[in-house]
Amino acid sequence: MSKAASAEDLLKLLFEDFVPFRAYAGGEAPIPYHWVRGNSNLVVITGDNASGKSFARRIITQLCRETEIEPMAISMQGRTTGGMMSAFVYGAEDYESTGQISARTVTMGIKTCRSRQNAHMVFWDEPDLGLSDSWAAGVGVAIAEFSRALPELTKGVFVVSHSKSLVSQLLDVPHHFVHFGEGKPPADLATWCKSKVKPRSIEQLADESHKRFKLIQAALNANKAKV
């Protein structure tokens, strides 16, 4: 495993070294993606539910550990784990609003990055959870300001969001854009922000999630059989 020194390095390792992101058996990749490269350590990730975003987060986090970058992944998985560590990082929803906790994960994440003395990355997975459009936009402004003047040791800032209010605040900041999902992808982040929402039946979401899991597992099994 080669050492990563930037967000672009991490994306290259993700898409080149992990079979779920590569086409096999003459078909489409189990996790189709569209990557618009930029000259930045900011990565903005979009895509429907069950498109592979959370899987990518887990792999990127593992890649950081293997390439001497400290990962700070802030996600729903961490928020729902429970226990003392979860309460320390995220707070307690018994007496704090969901949106307040989401906003604090951004302010505390920025503060932590600025105080770190080692190479690290931060991965905000849906930091707009529970926030209205105006507050989600405020989160976008905070991340934009931080990304314009990153600490030298912050090797990656990854943001996953479904919120156009948040993402639109990042358009003028140099960034990589990654979109997960089948079909024709948006050409760039600005195109995604302008795209119209098409309602989908919520009864189909479980099937979509199961389908993605089976495709990923089939690719992993096929790769294992070749080794």
Rounded CA separation 53/50 (Å)? 7
User: Which residues are within 8 A (CB) of 84 and not within 5 positions of it... i.e. 6 or more apart?
Assistant: none
Whole-angstrom Cα distance, residue 51 to residue 31?
7
pLDDT score recorded for residue 84: 39
What confidence tens digit (pLDDT) does each residue in 52-88 have?
999 999 999 999 999 999 999 885 554 444 443 444 4
Domain architecture of the chain: domains with CATH: 7-226 (3.40.50)
Quick check: 142 pLDDT over 60?
yes
- Note whether 97 and 130 are within 8 A (CB): yes
Host H or E run for residue 120: strand 120-125
pLDDT tens figures, 161-183: 999 999 999 999 999 999 999 99
Instruction: Give the pLDDT score at 82.
Output: 45
The mean per-residue pLDDT over the stretch 108-137 comes to 95
Query: What tokens were used for 170?
Result: 């990042």
Per-residue model confidence (pLDDT) at position 81: 47
